Amino acid sequence: MLDGIYIHIPFCMNKCNYCDFLSFKSNEEDRKKYVDYILKEIDLYPEYEYDTVYLGGGTPSLLNCDDVDRIVKRLKIKDGAEVTLEVNPKSVDLEKLRGFKKAGINRVSIGIQTFDDEMLKVLGRMHSSKEGIETYLQAREAGFENISLDLMFSLPNQSLEAVKSDLHRLLELRPEHFSIYSLIWEEGTPFFKKLEDGVYSETENELEAQMFEYIIDKAQEMGYIHYEISNFCLPNREARHNSKYWENKEYLGIGLGASGYVDKKRYKNQVQISKYYDTIDKREIPILESEFVDLDSKEQYKYMLGFRLLKKGVVPSEKYLKKCLELKEKGFLYRVEEHFLLTRKGIMLANDVLDEFI
Ligand X SMILES: C[S@@+](CC[C@H](N)C(=O)[O-])C[C@H]1O[C@@H](n2cnc3c(N)ncnc32)[C@H](O)[C@@H]1O
Catalog residues that contact ligand SF4 under the rule CB under 6 A: 12, 15-16, 19, 21, 23, 57-59, 88, 111
3-state DSSP of 185-201? CCCCCHHHHHHHCCCCC
**Distance between CA atoms of residues 257 and 8, nearest Å:** 7
- The answer to the question of residue 181 lying near ligand X (CB under 6 A) is yes
Quote the least distance from Cβ 358 to ligand X, whole Å: 22
Nearer to ligand X, 88 or 203 (CB): 88
Size of site (CB under 6 A) for ligand X: 16
Query: Which one of 41, 51, 86, 176 is in contact with ligand X (CB under 6 A)?
Result: 86
Is residue 70 within 8 Å of 34, Cβ to Cβ?
no
Alpha-helix runs per DSSP H in the chain: 28-43, 65-74, 94-102, 117-123, 129-141, 160-173, 190-196, 205-221, 240-246, 273-281, 295-306, 318-329, 344-348, 350-355
Count the neighbouring beta carbons within 10 Å of the beta carbon of residue 64: 16
Residue 214, CB-side half-sphere exposure with 13 Å CA sphere? 18
Binding partner selected for residue 183 from ligand X, ligand SF4, none, CB under the kind-specific 5 to 8 Å limit: ligand X
Query: Which one of 51, 116, 150, 228 is in contact with ligand X (CB under 6 A)?
Result: 150
Query: Which one of 4, 10, 57, 253 is in contact with ligand X (CB under 6 A)?
Result: 57
Our CA angle for 16, 182, 52, nearest 5°, is 80
Nearer to ligand X, 195 or 273 (CB): 195
Quote the least distance from Cβ 86 to ligand X, whole Å: 4
Binding partner selected for residue 278 from ligand X, ligand SF4, none, CB under the kind-specific 5 to 8 Å limit: none
Nearer to ligand X, 54 or 307 (CB): 54
Contacting ligand X within 185-244 (CB under 6 A): 186
Binding partner selected for residue 192 from ligand SF4, ligand X, none, CB under the kind-specific 5 to 8 Å limit: none
Quote the least distance from Cβ 91 to ligand SF4, whole Å: 9
Is residue 76 within 8 Å of 113, Cβ to Cβ?
no
Quote the least distance from Cβ 251 to ligand X, whole Å: 17
Q: What are phi and psi of 48, to 5 degrees?
A: -100, 150
